[in-house]
Homo-oligomer: A and B are copies of this chain.
Amino acid sequence: MTASLPLPPVLLEGLRQLLGERLSTSPAVCEHHGRDESIFAPMPPAAVAFARHTDEVLAIVNLCREHRVPLVPYGAGSSLEGHTLATRGGVTLNLQQMDQLVAVHDEDQTATVQPGVTRKALNAALRDKGLFFPIDPGADATIGGMCATRASGTNAVRYGTMRENVVNLTVITPDGQLVKTARRARKSAAGYDLTRLFVGSEGTLGVVVEATVKLHPLPESILAAVCAFPSIDAAVQAVVQTIQVGVPIARCEFVDRVAIRALNGYSKTGLPEQPHLFFEFHGSEAGVREQVELVQAIAGELGGESFQWAHTPEERTRLWEARHNVYFAALQLRPGSRSVVTDVCVPISQLADCVNQTAQDLAQSGLIAPIVGHVGDGNFHVQMLVDGDSEHEVAQAEALNARLVARALAMDGTCTGEHGIGLHKQGFLLDELGEAPVALMRQIKHAMDPHNLMNPGKIFAF
């Protein structure tokens, strides 16, 4: 870790006047904000500003711009591709203290929140309303961060991603404008879709200070089950057929043999060491019964074993917590290791080929590398456990990732289903889209942030 360039004293003074104790230049705080779960060496900012109000965010954006100092918006710090690293030092803007639920409109099934509200906190606040917010990346990310990365998770196959679930955003743009992107109607044709421009822009176009998201009615009936399959191929084929016949399945997760071993160790799940699908069904009682019957028939024909049901809400919670813990569970398979995580997403017709070829490639590598995925979307992850100090292993993992991305692109898929580009996938973005679309993104970035101060160096080098 190299220390960040010091900030201009007049900027530091301005930030101190604004924030008092909520401006930190402590090396520990700066280093904490300059590292993430990615493989990159830490890149700390020179200072961390903890904002509590939109007015403060506006003042911080203006101060940084006036002094031409980079600013990195920061939520829970749970992104995986280096999104929050302070590539050029400057100020990191921590938004976790902007954690107020602004409004819940039960009748319209929307919630308006400050950016630091986490997905779990939002759902806890909704507990008595008969509504829930479905997007669930593994970590307890903030809503602001989830907007920034276009987050997704296990429910996306039924409920969509942040792309479909953000109604409007209020953003402070790099030039210090407060932009509210839309009203609260379900749909609108009023000009450019600024909401979707900011969703997935990874903090490079502004700071989200408020978001209105869609909520969904808690289903009358919820059933969850796991099912073991004789092979990766059988499990993935079951998913493909489930999607193709149009079952409105709520969750449909693939967990391979290695990941099951990790879960059994970490979460005491006691599952047979075989490839599994984890299912959840939402609907009326009769509707869920119908879905279950269809999926059981598909699974049975492919050699799937009997469904193991999570009967109570507690068992269901345990099941999905186990699924969400795969990442940390897998790290225990090789203590002291770091993860290189992949994130391709392919058209569903290509999924079985893509997973099978990837499993073969991994088997030849000798790396411990569980495969899990939101396979109903065509999205899956490989978590390659490497010795972070071994250049050879890191290079080996990167080469596997590059081959996986090339395989997915050849199948008309994407290099990232949900994690984003960050620092790590800028080359893959060019492979995926070509020069002209990325040039257009840079054109938009340049128009909105001519001095390249807002989370610089992410998605593309300037």
Question: Taking beta carbons and an 8 Å cutoff, which residues of A are in contact with B?
Answer: 105, 107-110, 149-152, 156, 160-161, 163-164, 173, 177-194, 196-197, 199-201, 205, 216-217, 219, 240, 244-246, 283-284, 286-287, 290, 343, 345-349, 377-379, 409, 412-421, 425, 428-429, 432-434, 436-441, 443-444, 446-448, 459-460
Contact = CB atoms under 8 A, between A and B. Distances in A.
A177 B108 contact: no
A190 B110 contact: no
Contacts of A409: 183
A415 to B, nearest CB: 6
Contacts of A419: 189
B440 A448 contact: yes
A322 to B, nearest CB: 24
Nearest to A294: B284
Contacts of A286: 286-287, 290
A197 B429 CA distance: 18
A325 B63 CA distance: 57
Contact of A186 (B283, B343, B345, B420): B345
Contact of A347 (B108, B205, B343, B415): B108
A197 B197 contact: yes
A192 B433 CA distance: 11
A76 B418 CA distance: 36
A27 to B, nearest CB: 32
Contact of A201 (B192, B348, B378): B192
7 contacts: A160-B164, A179-B437, A182-B433, A190-B428, A191-B200, A193-B199, A197-B444
A189 B287 contact: no
Given A183-B412, A188-B414, A419-B189, A194 B163 contact: no
A204 B225 CA distance: 49
Given A149-B189, A185-B378, A194 B345 contact: no
A409 B217 CA distance: 26
Contact of A193 (B110, B150, B178): B150
Given A163-B193, A173-B440, 18 more contacts: A107-B347, A164-B164, A179-B440, A180-B437, A181-B433, A181-B437, A182-B433, A184-B347, A186-B377, A186-B378, A187-B414, A189-B420, A190-B425, A190-B432, A191-B200, A191-B421, A192-B200, A284-B287
Q: Which one of A109, A189, A412 has the highest number of Cβ atoms from chain B below 10 Å of its Cβ? A: A189
Nearest to A108: B347
A432 B180 CA distance: 10
A151 to B, nearest CB: 8
B187 A156 contact: yes
A287 to B, nearest CB: 5
A292 to B, nearest CB: 13
B178 A436 contact: yes
A120 B345 CA distance: 31
A163 B195 CA distance: 11
Contacts of A290: 284, 286-287
A433 B413 CA distance: 36
A45 to B, nearest CB: 24
Q: Give me the 9 closest cross-chain CB pairs, A-B, nearest first.
A: A196-B196, A447-B447, A107-B349, A217-B246, A188-B414, A184-B412, A108-B347, A185-B345, A177-B436
Contact of A433 (B190, B436, B441): B190
A217 B161 CA distance: 21
Nearest to A432: B190
B189 A418 contact: yes
Given A156-B187, A187-B418, A189-B419, A349 B436 contact: no
A108 B348 contact: yes
B443 A448 contact: yes
Q: Which one of A197, A414, A440, A447 has the highest number of Cβ atoms from chain B below 10 Å of its Cβ? A: A440
